[in-house]
Structure 1
Amino acid sequence: MKEKDQHPTSARTFYTSVDVARRAGVSRTTVSYVLNGNWDGHVSDETRKKVLQAAEELGYSTHSSARALRKGQSDEICLIIDLPLTVHRIELLVSVQQYAFQHGYAPVAYFCYGFSPEQVHTLLLKIFARRPMGIFATAGSMTTKQIALAQRMGTDNIILYSVEPLEYARTIILPTRPLGCLAAQHLLERGHRHLALVQPADPLHDYGFQQRLEGMRATIAGMPGVTLDILSLEFTLSDAHSLVDTYLTRSDHPTGIYAFNDEYALLLLGALSDRGIQVPGEVAVVGTDAISFSAWMRPTLTTIRFDTISLAQRAVGMLVNWHSSQPLPEELTRPLVPQLIPREST
């Protein structure tokens, strides 16, 4: 009977922060500053690069769970979304990720659209147990009781964003009524007197639609000869074709349309193009959200952004400052001020 071949397994060497410090020629405290993202003001850029290079050469990284145990908190910024994913929300998530990394935090996204209340509660318990540095969430994803539960479990740095004011949590309010005012003003300045507002069929948009409608009505109030139509639209190309065929081929059709947001605007632009209707020659179109696609379309889309400071930058900045007990900069305390970006579609 032959003796089995022996295949010795090479032992793996595990390194510590002491090894990183020795290789970089710095103190262990310096290594801790750099690898925990707290190097700013403590460590020069040259030293930071030496530490990162040494850690990379040794294959060393900090253990997030151990760090969370020491600090009583993880370095995560959790995003909780209970709405359908759209281009606007995807771009928001990517932007939050970029700003979180800039501040040395790890963004983690959770999606609970379509979950039952029990499933949402179970998910939130798991999130709270991780004790994230902060939570940025849609307003509908967390109730008053769930926010109180998060605080009892050690997570009280929470920001919600909403189109409606909330009393039970720190909230970034998206100003929706001024959007209608801006869109109407712009279309009036372009000479349009027959305006229209697209009403999404999805009830999730009801409050935002009503606020936009109020803004447009307030802007045109008392103006002789100015009318405003409401155009209901399902988010499908076939329904957009039907809308164009029914309302925008008549002799008295609206010539200036606020399409609720960029995604509905892009859908409408496609249907108008399919029917040979010139934009902006015959119909002008305005969107909202300033998504990247709005600048790539032909014609490029006139849109409205919520503020010069992006929602992601504002949210991460607020979480970071509150976590470090620093006062908020003035630009993060003022309400959002929407701005219109004029382009070819009007």
Structure 2
Amino acid sequence: MSHTSRESRERSVPTSADVARLAGVSRATVSYVLNNASAVRISEPTRRRVRRAAEELGYVPHAAARSLRAGHSRMVLLPTAHVSACPPHSRFLDELQWALRGLDYTVVQYGSMGLDGDSAARAWAELRPAAVVSLGETVLTPHSVRLLKRSGVRAVITLGTRAVEGAHSLLMDQRQIGARAAEHLLERGHRRLGVIMPEEPGPGLFSELRLTGVRRAAEPHGATVRAVPLACEERAAEALAAGWRELGLDAVYAYNDEYAMLLMRALQDVGLSIPGDTAVIGADDLLLGRLLRPRLSTLRIDVVTGQYLAGLVDRAVRDPDGAPERHDVMATRVVRREST
């Protein structure tokens, strides 16, 4: 091959025909191999030859063309209003994305900060994904689901606090978390309960429901419950701790372990004893909570696995007219340690 022709090939966009010629196979074989088609038997040496040729040429299948052939894309849209650093949440997202990739889907995370249900649905629909997995940060409506499906989305899956008509719904009753925390504190003899309410916008939906759970559990015992706003900042915790004695609380459920650890350190810095003056319980069972002194009591929240959710996505994409599935997918238990 001449120097000029080699430069020309390197400048041009490689096609499946180029891969087929280099590998000595048909274009159909290239398509079967690179799209992981399982319906056609192709020998492993041939598969390796095709992949080597594609790698040498720098060929990547065209997603839009692939979607036209299949009648739908292989994109799963994962909207998120903010990126969580919480290990359980991060592990769940990692597992979900790996499982979907193993099923030959492409996962695209979409920043949805500031969008309500219908506005978000219109924005998501523009990308024409095969499925949308909404993790509860954006509250979808039945109209949102219909809009998405009219645009060609084959499956809408919601993971949140309530079922949405037309969508597959995995339900997590956040009130259960607050109730379990309150029941533990009540068992320990506490009757003046505080509930830390994050001032950041992200946790708002869940924190209100968890507060409701605390209040429902406390009411039969004649216990008082006070909502206590707190930003996840050291200065905010210091200011709250400075006036803590005036609140008259003997125990607090702190939304999650991050807020619990922040509050514990601030209370200890002003000379308050934990659990002597105030018992503290968090949620999520982070490793760091076990390293504190006193060790942090917490709630372990077990939810559906990413592998399970990926399987539901695949079933729903394959059968878009199937009846929506609804499952309760969360279990909560108290991990008792020294802070309560």
Same-fold call, TM > 0.5?
A: yes
2:36 paired with 1:69: no
CA contact (8 A) 1:157 1:322 kept: yes
Say if 1:140 and 1:333 are closer, same or farther in 2 by CA, change over 3 A.
closer
The separation in 2 between residues aligned to 1:292 and 1:100, in whole angstroms, is: 28
Aligned residue for 1:99? 99
Choose the corresponding residue for 1:149, options 147, 150, 172.
Answer: 147
Matches for 1:126-275 after TM superposition, within 5 Å: 127-137=124-134, 138=136, 140=138, 142-167=140-165, 169-190=167-188, 192-201=190-199, 208-223=206-221, 226-247=223-244, 249=245, 253-275=248-270
Aligned residues with identical type, % of pairs: 31
Say if 1:327 and 1:157 are closer, same or farther in 2 by CA, change over 3 A.
closer
Q: What is the CA deviation profile of residues 170-198 of structure 1, one whole-angstrom value per residue up to 9, with x for unaligned ones? A: 33322111111211233345554543222
| RMSD of Structure 2 on Structure 1 (CA) | 4.2
| TM-score, with length taken from structure 1 | 0.73
Choose the corresponding residue for 1:339, options 328, 332, 337.
Answer: 332
Matches for 1:16-27 after TM superposition, within 5 Å: 16=16, 19=19, 23=23
Q: Secondary structure at the match of 1:12?
A: helix
Q: Secondary structure at the match of 2:330?
A: coil
2:134 paired with 1:112: no
Unpaired runs of 5+ residues, structure 2, are none
Choose the corresponding residue for 1:325, options 298, 319, 328.
Answer: 319
The separation in 2 between residues aligned to 1:299 and 1:253, in whole angstroms, is: 21
Choose the corresponding residue for 2:9, options 12, 24, 27.
Answer: 12
CA contact (8 A) 1:199 1:233 kept: yes
Q: Secondary structure at the match of 1:339?
A: strand
Shift of 1:77: 0.6
Say if 1:203 and 1:61 are closer, same or farther in 2 by CA, change over 3 A.
closer
- Code of the residue aligned with 1:183 in structure 2: it is A
Say if 1:39 and 1:206 are closer, same or farther in 2 by CA, change over 3 A.
same
The separation in 2 between residues aligned to 1:325 and 1:298, in whole angstroms, is: 52
Range 66-75 or range 39-48, more displaced? 39-48
- Code of the residue aligned with 1:336 in structure 2: it is V
Say if 1:71 and 1:297 are closer, same or farther in 2 by CA, change over 3 A.
farther
Q: Secondary structure at the match of 1:166?
A: coil
CA contact (8 A) 1:33 1:42 kept: no
Shift of 1:46: 8.7
| TM-score, with length taken from structure 2 | 0.74
Say if 1:164 and 1:53 are closer, same or farther in 2 by CA, change over 3 A.
same
The separation in 1 between residues aligned to 2:265 and 2:45, in whole angstroms, is: 52
- Code of the residue aligned with 2:214 in structure 1: it is M
CA contact (8 A) 2:162 2:169 kept: no
Say if 1:180 and 1:18 are closer, same or farther in 2 by CA, change over 3 A.
same
Q: Secondary structure at the match of 2:7?
A: coil
Unpaired runs of 5+ residues, structure 1, are 1-6
2:77 paired with 1:78: yes
Shift of 1:339: 2.2
Q: What is the CA deviation profile of residues 308-341 of structure 1, one whole-angstrom value per residue up to 9, with x for unaligned ones? A: 424x44443321121123999xxx8531232236
Matches for 1:303-318 after TM superposition, within 5 Å: 303-310=298-305, 312-318=306-312
